[in-house]
């Protein structure tokens, strides 16, 4: 851990804690809660200490550094706010309107951008599960049991399996290998909680 000249370890810890708490609520998204973003902000702050030049006050430097890194993190993991229209290869985006297409969705570049962003957003939220396993003909007891199993797995699934779990619950295709690993992990979670399948 690098402590800049003129600061004690406790002062640096206090600065990082203040910045993390203040920025965490502004950048939460998807399944990343405030506590997750607080930890991410602290990580970015520790990384930022390596490039601190000592000219500006440490808190100001880290605030800007962490805020910029959190913007990038959210953009890369949730959605990109800049539309492809701003750099339109057809020069068809004039005065905030497309002069080439009647509907912007007709533009293949814009359409692909929308689909990519929507996919990222879908992966960041868990689908509510009214009845994930059984159909409408199943008994109430089966439906309650199914909901409890879903909630259990959803709360216990490790981060490394989270994306595949979300894809699986939203019926989005995943590779056979990832599917098998996910099903093994689900079975392990259920077994650890006293449910044999």
**42 plus 14 within the same structural domain:** yes
Looking at the fold, whether 67 and 42 belong to one and the same domain comes out as yes
pLDDT reported for residue 195: 75
Q: What is the pLDDT of residue 120?
A: 63
Residue scoring higher pLDDT (13 or 106): 13
Does 71 lie in the same domain as 115? no
| 41-87 tens-digit pLDDT | 999 999 999 889 888 999 999 999 999 999 888 877 766 566 777 67
Which is more confident, 106 or 138?
Answer: 106
pLDDT in tens, 1-34: 678 888 899 999 999 999 999 998 888 776 677 8
**Is position 65 within any domain?**
yes
Record the tokens describing residue 57, joined without a space.
Answer: 């006050």
Task: Count the Cβ atoms, other than its own, within 10 Å of residue 53.
Answer: 7
Work out the average pLDDT over 116-137: 56
Say whether both 92 and 118 belong to one domain.
yes
Number of domain units in the chain:
3
72 within domain boundaries? yes
pLDDT at 174 > cutoff 90: no
How much is the pLDDT for 124? 61
Mean pLDDT (the chain) is: 79
pLDDT band at 121 (very low <50, low <70, confident <90, very high): low
Pairing mode of beta strands 93-94, 97-98: antiparallel
Domain that holds residue 157: 140-192
73 near 51, Cβ under 8 Å? no
Structure confidence at residue 123 (pLDDT): 58
Please say if the pLDDT value at position 107 is more than 50. Answer: yes
Residues 13 and 73 grouped into a single domain: yes
In a domain, 52, yes or no: yes
Strand ranges, E, within the chain: 93-94, 97-98
Most confident of 99-103, 127-131, 179-183: 179-183
Question: Do 52 and 99 have their domain in common?
Answer: no
């Amino acid at each position: 851990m690098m402590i800049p000249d003129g600061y004690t370890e406790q002062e640096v810890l206090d600065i990082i804690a203040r910045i993390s708490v203040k920025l965490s609520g502004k950048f939460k998204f998807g399944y990343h809660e405030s506590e997750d973003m607080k930890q991410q902000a602290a990580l970015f702050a520790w990384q930022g200490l390596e490039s601190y030049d000592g000219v500006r006050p440490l808190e100001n430097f880290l605030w800007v550094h962490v805020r910029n890194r959190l913007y990038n993190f959210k953009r890369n993991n949730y959605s990109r706010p800049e539309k492809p229209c701003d750099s339109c290869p057809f020069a068809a985006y004039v005065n905030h309107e497309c002069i080439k297409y009647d509907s912007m969705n007709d533009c293949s570049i814009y359409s692909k951008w929308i689909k990519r962003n929507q996919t990222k957003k879908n992966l960041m939220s868990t689908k509510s599960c009214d009845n994930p396993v059984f159909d409408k003909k199943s008994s109430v007891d089966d439906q309650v049991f199914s909901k409890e199993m879903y909630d259990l797995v959803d709360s216990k699934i490790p981060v490394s399996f989270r994306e595949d779990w979300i894809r699986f619950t939203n019926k989005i295709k995943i590779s056979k290998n990832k599917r098998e690993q996910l099903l093994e992990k689900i079975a392990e979670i259920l077994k650890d909680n006293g449910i044999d399948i």
